[in-house]
Chains A and B, each alone.
Chain A
Amino acid sequence: MNMLKVENIHKIYGKTKVLAGVSFTMEKGETKVIIGPSGTGKSTLLRCINQLSPPDKGRVWLEGIEVTDKKTDINLIRQKIGFVFQEFNLFNHLTAVKNVSIALEKVKKMEKEEAHKEAMNELKRVGLKDQADQYPSQLSGGQKQRVGIARALAMNPVIILFDEPTSALDPELIGDVLEVMKSLAGEISMLVVTHEMGFARNVADEIIFMEHGVIAECGNPDKMFKNPEKKRTKEFLGKISSLYGEE
């Protein structure tokens, strides 16, 4: 049984076919990176997995449970799927530590003190112990995103989906976030949509190259960077690498 199985996902917005049959699987502890030109449905794919936007066709299983089944309690499933957003989406009225603990209290029904303790642990893990009592507006972009990661981690998910986690950050703040993500590799499954080629190359177990709503090519970083089967993959990687650098 695969930890995550995505089968033949289709998604149409109006007349645009955003996803046209995407299938792949993931195992426990794996890190997969999705790359591809913008508008190819990478973010939509992530949202199809946790049903923020349910696919029009296709199925998703997490640990053997069909996520796409209407009878499945989606709120229960989502607790196991962390999500980290490009725009952070921290709760503006709550301090950093409260951002992390609120779902523990209200969704997992933890005692207040226990939830606080747990939240502090996660903040320590991402290096933000000292910022615990600050509000999102008082944090830098990189700090916000690390709170976002701590918030996802606190739920103790089996997988975390990252939707371009560093794209909204100033270049000098990206490093901290990537460091945190690297430290998680192997401990927790990660599915990451990103343009950070350094991260893809050094951390990913597999790179998935998407274009026009389908997986054009996938493979381990070595193959993808050195001997891609398709010309288009090579082109894209070459272009992105020269733009973003290779670490």
Chain B
Amino acid sequence: MLIESLPQLFEGLKITLGLTILSLLLGSVLGILMAVGRVYGKKPLVFFIYIYEKTLRGIPLLVIFFLIYFGLSQIGINFDPFTAAVLGLGLRSTAYQAQIYRSAINSIPTGQMIAARSMGMSKLKAIRYIILPQVLRLSIPGWSNELTIVLKDTSIAFSIGVIDLMRQGRYIYSVNHELVLQVLLIIALIYFALVFSINKGLNYLEKKYKMTGFEIEIER
């Protein structure tokens, strides 16, 4: 019975991964834009981003989900559960990722920007070719942390009806009551294995793309 339910869990896993990838992508793109806007932008923009970050980091994910899925539908804006979940996870991740990139930008010496501008690069070009390549390298550790949080938090999307790994599991044990513990353990194991292997992979990336001379090596 347990073996037979595995393909069903696999279907759920695909949704979970889709959710993770799409919301991370959304969070990364918007997060980078917001970090750049907050550091280099003009006052009103900086203020807007500041408020955005504070707000989205201050609301529980479940509330964000319900607001987007049930709340917005009351004023005629309807999303299917999957889209609502991607938006919820992505917009929240944006707020956290913006922090990661912003602290990385701030850690880059101002001389880098000054040198780029002195050679005739526009501000945008300097950000694109000089600042961001360094920022992204420095952001890998923070980003991999965020990735695991998003991946695990996709499980909350089952609350608005996304048929992800968690919900597929629920389907299985709600008809086979004797399997509750086993199914949940399998689900936990799947999440764990994913997080573990992704972290391993990102560690490798971090080492591969580290800037020479920026490693911290102390012999003793």
Contact = CB atoms under 8 A, between A and B. Distances in A.
A93 B114 contact: no
A31 interface: no
A135 B215 CA distance: 13
Given A52-B118, A78-B117, A92-B214, A106 B134 contact: no
Given A52-B114, A93-B133, A93-B134, A135 B213 contact: yes
A50 B117 CA distance: 10
Nearest to A77: B120
A206 B93 CA distance: 59
B205 to A, nearest CB: 15
A139 to B, nearest CB: 9
Given A91-B115, A93-B134, A155 B120 contact: yes
Best-buried of B111, B125, B134 by chain A (most CB within 10 Å)? B111
Contacts of B112: 89, 91-92
B206 to A, nearest CB: 14
A91 B125 CA distance: 14
Nearest to B134: A93
B212 to A, nearest CB: 4
A7 interface: no
Given A91-B112, A92-B211, A93-B133, A75 B118 contact: no
A52 B212 contact: no
B128 to A, nearest CB: 8
- How many chain A residues sit at the interface, stated as a range, is 20 to 34
Nearest to A90: B115
Contacts of A78: 117-120
Interface in A140-182: 151-152, 155
Interface in A71-127: 75-79, 81, 83, 85, 87-93, 102-103, 106-107
A2 interface: no
A36 interface: no
A83 B129 contact: no
Contact of B213 (A50, A52, A103, A136): A136
Contacts of B118: 50, 52, 78, 81, 83
B149 to A, nearest CB: 27
Interface of B: 109, 111-112, 114-122, 125, 129-130, 133-134, 137, 211-214
The 7 closest A-B pairs by CB, nearest first: A137-B213, A89-B111, A89-B115, A79-B120, A83-B118, A78-B120, A135-B212
8 contacts: A52-B114, A78-B118, A79-B120, A85-B115, A88-B111, A103-B120, A106-B121, A137-B212
